[in-house]
Amino acid sequence: MNIHDFDDIRPFLPEELPAAFDSLLADPQFCGIMMSFFKDVPFEVLKQQIYACKDSLELQKKIFYPLIKQLLQKCSDGASLNCTAIRESRRADSYTFISNHRDIVLDAGLLDVLLIDNGFRTTVEIAIGDNLLIHPWIKTLVRINKSFIVKRSVSMRELLASSKQMSEYMHFAINEKHENIWIAQREGRAKDSDDRTQESVLKMMAMGGSGSVIDRLKALNIVPIAISYEYDPCDFLKAKEFQQKRDNPDFKKSKQDDLTNMQTGIFGYKGRVQYCMASTVNTWIDELAGLPKGEFFTTLAHHIDRAIHTSYTIYPINYVAVDLLQGTQDFTHCYTPDDKQRFEQYLQSRLDLIDLPNKDEDFLRRSMLTMYANPAINKRKTVTKE
């Protein structure tokens, strides 16, 4: 296969970037957003800096890296990466990072910054659903930023072919382009933070490449990552959606809802953010050889889940949420009375933001408590089993 077999989903090639820059910089909405970040940089200077970038990695380092660093200063108490499971000598290798999914935009964006800061050779190519490409300029932006498109707006008949194409592209990106990849462990965010790997994601990965299923997955060099946000800027929006779906099982978010979630996730307060890499799947996947195909993918998904759950960073508010949700005092040694008071005040402030005509505050409160409690519950279950 060659790169042009993936023209409808792949990131832009270096020679395609000038035309993509032309398109972006002609869009008033994109220009307005960029100037809101680079207020002290004249627009013509910013344009020159963008056009000077010869490939997407250079664009990330010169434009998006400082932009995300600025965001972190304003909207968080810092982000860090624990990558001790990847030896420093192996940071030039190519990896498929599979993680839980907290924020639509920033999960992969922050990972890029953290990989650069920790001496990895390059950033990640990002799997992004076409349902999020609400405006033409967003599709252009993500493709210049090393994203490849996951076709979700296809018929069931087309789904198999699009999954095969995506898998072949991932293998091509890892083994021919020597890029890293980031993909979420499931389609969409786990809005209750009960993070579980979808077997369908793993089955898709095994469609490309050659050899046995294990050979194909080993070729992708899969590394689970746990992402732990202290505060989720979209917590109240997720709780609101839970009630909307409870009250109307046919409820579907609008494109405007997706845009609101993206904006809130980017600019909302996150507290502390921690990424933690587990060991590559290749260190243990051979143990699963001989399992029936269905059981193999179930077991593989559980192994990845355990790797993510044990790698969570658990903050005091997560322990507070467990005790409040379950009416217990099991974790009082993990937080102070001040921690509890601050979290309860925070919780109420988020509930106050939810605008529903038939607002069920008890349900919404339980929904948000569940979001913050589940990482602590899952980590405790996993560590106890081990």
So what's the pLDDT on residue 386?
61
Kind and range of the H or E run holding 376: helix 361-385
223 contacts 86 by C-beta, under 8 angstroms = yes
Tokens of 306: 């355990």
So what's the pLDDT on residue 65?
96
Tokens of 248: 């109307």
Sheet holding 147-150, edge to edge: 79-82, 273-277, 222-229, 96-99, 180-184, 124-129, 147-150
> What domains lie within the chain, and their CATH numbers?
3-233+268-311 (3.40.1130), 317-385 (no CATH)
The distance from CA 239 to its chain's CA centroid, rounded to whole angstroms, is: 19
Cβ partners under 8 Å of residue 385, min gap 6: none
So what's the pLDDT on residue 230?
98
For 79, phi and psi rounded to 5 degrees?
A: -130, 145
CA 139 to CA 107: how far, in whole Å? 18
123 contacts 115 by C-beta, under 8 angstroms = yes
Kindly give the confidence (pLDDT) of every residue in the chain, 386 residues in length, as a single tens digit, with 9 standing for 90 and above.
899 999 999 999 999 999 999 999 999 999 998 988 888 899 999 999 999 999 999 999 999 999 999 999 999 999 999 999 998 878 889 999 999 999 988 999 999 999 999 999 999 999 999 988 988 999 999 999 999 999 988 888 899 999 999 999 999 999 999 999 999 999 888 899 999 999 999 999 999 999 999 999 999 999 999 999 999 999 999 999 999 999 999 999 888 888 899 899 999 999 999 999 999 999 999 999 999 988 999 999 999 999 999 999 999 999 999 999 999 999 999 999 999 999 999 999 999 999 999 999 999 999 999 999 999 999 999 988 76
